[in-house]
């Protein structure tokens, strides 16, 4: 998709399919997007997002261009990203939500961050292609070990 967010494709166009086919396709997209993030490849990351994509976190709202700018400059890098839970994928026509618990290691402005987060991504199918329009991350509550006797 290049700079405009709509030109190149991270996936071949497909007609709306069965719920199982949509779920399977979205699971593949989420894995490929995570791989692009760990590769720190701004062009590949852009392929998964619509022009209006934003990420919402504890620091507020970051738009697509700002996020990609951080990646392009090397100020933001990721060295690991792992799903802790299987993705919960729900398709509602041409809109889908994907929620999962993710751990990742990132570096921003030279500082390392290890995160354990719940993520929710909202995808919209346009011209047969799924593109993320919104990502929301929430820090996961720490899990205490069970009490011992």
pLDDT truncated to tens, each residue of the chain (149 aa)?
Answer: 343 444 444 555 555 567 789 999 999 999 999 999 999 999 999 999 999 999 999 999 999 999 999 999 999 999 999 999 999 999 999 999 999 999 999 999 999 999 999 999 999 999 999 999 999 999 999 876 666 66
The pLDDT value given to residue 63 = 98
The pLDDT value given to residue 127 = 94
The pLDDT value given to residue 4 = 41
Residue spans of beta strands (DSSP E) within the chain: 49-57, 60-63, 76-83, 88-92, 95-108, 111-126, 129-139
Residues whose CB is less than 8 angstroms from the CB of residue 63 and which lie 6 or more positions away in sequence, other chains included: 53, 54
Pair of tokens at residue 31: 């894995």
List the alpha helices (DSSP H) in 1-149: 19-38, 42-47, 64-73
The pLDDT value given to residue 9 = 46
pTM for the model: 0.83
The pLDDT value given to residue 2 = 41
The pLDDT value given to residue 130 = 97
């Amino acid at each position: 998709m290049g700079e405009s967010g709509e030109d190149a494709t991270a996936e071949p166009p497909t007609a709306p399919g069965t719920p199982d086919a949509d779920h399977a396709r979205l699971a593949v997209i989420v894995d490929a997007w995570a791989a692009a993030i760990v590769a720190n490849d701004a062009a590949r990351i852009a392929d998964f997002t619509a022009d209006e994509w934003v990420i919402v976190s504890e620091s507020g709202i970051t738009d697509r261009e700002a996020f990609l700018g951080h990646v392009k400059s090397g100020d933001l890098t990721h060295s690991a990203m792992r799903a802790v839970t299987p993705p919960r994928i729900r398709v509602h026509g041409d809109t889908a939500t994907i929620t999962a618990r993710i751990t990742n290691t990132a570096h921003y402005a030279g500082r390392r961050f290890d995160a354990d987060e719940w993520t929710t991504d909202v995808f919209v199918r346009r011209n047969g292609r799924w593109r993320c329009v919104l990502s929301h991350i929430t820090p996961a509550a720490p899990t205490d070990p069970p009490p011992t006797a």
